[in-house]
Amino acid sequence: MYFKQFYLGCLAHASYLIGSEGEAVVIDPQRDIDQYLAEAESLGMKIKYVIETHLHADFVSGHRELAARTGAEIVFGARAGAVFPHLPVKDGDELKAGRIVLKIRETPGHTPESISILVIDHEISPLPQKVLTGDTLFIGDVGRPDLAGSKGYTPEEMAGMLYDSLHEKLLTLDDTVEVWPAHGAGSLCGRNISKETSSTIGQQRSFNYALQPMAREAFVKMMTTDLPEAPAYFSKDAEINRSGASQLQDLPLPQPLTALQVKGSAGQGITILDVRSSAQFGAGHIPGSINIGLNGQFASWAGSLLKLDQPVIVIASDDDEVKDSITRLSRVGIDNVKGYLQGGMYAWDQAGLQTNQIPQIPVDELKFWMSDKQDLQVIDVRQPGEYRTGHVPHASSAPLAKVKELAAALDHSRRTAIICAGGYRSSTATSILSSIGFTNLFNVVGGTSAWINAGFDVEVN
């Protein structure tokens, strides 16, 4: 058996290629599919099936393009309601790729149509050796139960289904069965996912907090308490996956734009997206632009903060960054990149156009300002759970996804230091606040991690 995990750090997303004897299966593919085609070709395998463990909400899948380019059959759980030709599968169904048998287990809870896939190589054993769990069981966590959307289920009902799926389907497997999920640490489809990208049933039975012995009612309460808000793009991406995304090769190519053309787009309902690092952005950027750096979880934050149907102009350091940003935006369904600033910020400066700056300050400078009792407001843009574990004393909580709407409660004129865990999200927050009129902003380099490492006091509440 050939088995390979493809891990996409930007989306904390894992996809898989499994095959034997000239036949292969791709499971939960990302939207740009060339790596699967190249891998199968290098192995002399033909892709027979493209299997989705569920209707993914956090990224757009390439299942339709992969099927169109290979002749493979698309497979979904029977309850997915996909509107294109596909093979609907239910509990106990089997698919084959060479000598490999893939046995379907319906495991609803994260979504109603979720399935897990038992992988059996009969040359090794008639029992499963691996299970691909999609978003039902993660390493160190389980799928969140509140993404059913229009399906008509409450989070409590979904959590009950999840409990049953875990205890009646997955935890009945042998402890040695390998667990391969669809996401890793950083995914918004869970809350406490480990940095590990695989495990075993036995290890998860011992160490996963959600699998410890407890009554169904206690599990339901735990799974539905303090859920982080689902990004707005989740429901849209799930529907794109239900109908199938356009092929990437059919999308129009973004146009190179002059500095004056970019300037003329301001106020025209176009998002100017600066994908450079926080340091580069802070040193000089186009007024009103939004900074989401390619060096972090770019696609997830772009999907969360940008409107999927709003035109985008990209500001990058070079052409490679432009191409990378376009690909990564398409992975969350942002297909309307209209253009990019040719020559980057150098061209903008050469045109003599205005730039804005965001000073980048170290934590010891922030500490000095606080001890000197200067007029200062500190805004922590991490998630509420992160904030509660420890934050800079007297810092206010305004999670990045909500910072724009919470800004009304802040004083636009005061000196405002923005902090997160390491400086990435805070730079994005400063760009958002700057775009709505804040003029005295500072990004804290190294964030709360640097604050704690410096030995400074933290407040817990």
Q: What mean pLDDT, rounded, does the chain reach?
A: 94
Binning pLDDT at 50, 70 and 90, where does residue 83 land? very high
Rounded Cα gap, residues 281 and 359, in angstroms: 10
Q: What is the pLDDT of residue 213?
A: 96
Q: Above 60 in pLDDT, residue 115?
A: yes
Binning pLDDT at 50, 70 and 90, where does residue 149 land? low
Domains of the chain: 2-243 (3.60.15.10), 251-350 (3.40.250.10), 360-453 (3.40.250.10)
For residue 396, what are its two tokens? 């206010």
Q: Above 80 in pLDDT, residue 148?
A: no
Binning pLDDT at 50, 70 and 90, where does residue 188 land? confident
Q: Which residue has the tokens 């350091």?
A: 317
Q: What is the pLDDT of residue 207?
A: 96
Rounded Cα gap, residues 118 and 138, in angstroms: 15
Q: How far is CA 297 from CA 14, 86, 95, 158, in A?
A: 15, 32, 35, 28
For residue 443, give every residue at least 6 positions away whose Cβ sits within 8 Å of its Cβ, in sequence order, or none.
Answer: 278, 282, 358, 359, 360, 361, 417, 418, 423, 426, 427, 430
Share of the chain above pLDDT 90, in %: 87
DSSP string across 296-328: SSHHHHHHHHS-TTS-EEEE-SSHHHHHHHHHH
Q: Which residue has the tokens 């002399």?
A: 44
Rounded Cα gap, residues 459 and 461, in angstroms: 7
For residue 437, give every residue at least 6 positions away whose Cβ sits within 8 Å of its Cβ, in sequence order, or none.
Answer: 412
Rounded Cα gap, residues 73 and 75, in angstroms: 6
- Averaged over 123-129, what is the pLDDT? 95
Rounded Cα gap, residues 430 and 289, in angstroms: 11
Binning pLDDT at 50, 70 and 90, where does residue 280 land? very high
Binning pLDDT at 50, 70 and 90, where does residue 309 land? confident
Q: What is the pLDDT of residues 328-379, one digit of tens each?
A: 999 999 999 999 999 999 999 999 999 999 999 999 999 999 987 778 999 9
